[in-house]
Structures are given as structure tokens and as C-alpha cells.
Amino acid sequence: MKKMIFMIILILAWSAAALAAGTQYQMQVDGLACPFCAYGIEKKLSTIKGVNDIKVDIAKGQVIVTMENSVPLPESLVREQIRKAGFTLRSISQVIKDE
């Protein structure tokens, strides 16, 4: 029974890692100054289909968006959503992971 529980936990952990392995995009955003700014960015970017996770580093003016596997993140859509949130997209690039 213990082996079965261990296997289930191992499979769940592997599945979670696989889901988290989506494509990441790093963005520089002008105007980020407070947690409310971060919330505004998160709210707008979360409306984009395929977004799994959003992390905002206010101090660096950086936003990391993780997409579902094989779902692209169009720069024009990101630029529009960030503009609607009241900020300016300075740059966007895909994060290349070493595996």
C-alpha cells in the first residue's frame, strides 16, 4: 500500500512539473511602482488565452509569463493589454530553458 501511495505521489509530482514546463516570456515594462501596478498587469495579461502563470518583479520592472505548452504569446496582444493596464511594454523575449 505504501508503494502505491508513493507511486501516486510521484506521478502527480511529475505531472505538475510537466504542466509547469510551458513556454516562458520575459518582459520589461515601464511604470511599475507598486503592488497595485503588478495587480493591474496580472489582471490584463491573465485574459490572454493560454496564460498559465504571471510573475511580476516590481523592482526590476519585469514580468514573466508562462504559457501552456505550444501556445504562442503574440507581442501585439501583450503590448495592447499592457497599454490598457496603463503601462508601456519596453521589450519581450522568449526565455530559452536549458534542459
CATH number, residue 90: 3.30.70.100
Phi, psi of 71 (to 5 degrees): -100, 120
Number of domains, the chain: 1
Residue 6 within a domain: no
Rounded to whole angstroms, how far apart are CA atoms 58 and 66? Answer: 17
pLDDT at residue 19 in the model: 47
pTM assigned to the model: 0.74
pLDDT at residue 96 in the model: 82
Which cell goes with 69? 505548452
What single string gives the DSSP state of each residue in 9-76? HHHHHHHHHHHTTS-EEEEEEET--SHHHHHHHHHHHTTSTTEEEEEEETTTTEEEEEEPTT----HH
Note down pLDDT in tens along the chain; length 99 residues: 656 554 455 455 444 444 456 899 999 999 999 999 999 999 999 999 999 999 999 999 999 999 998 889 999 999 999 999 999 999 999 988 765
Range of the domain at 47: 22-95
44-68 confidence digits (pLDDT tens): 999 999 999 999 999 999 999 999 9
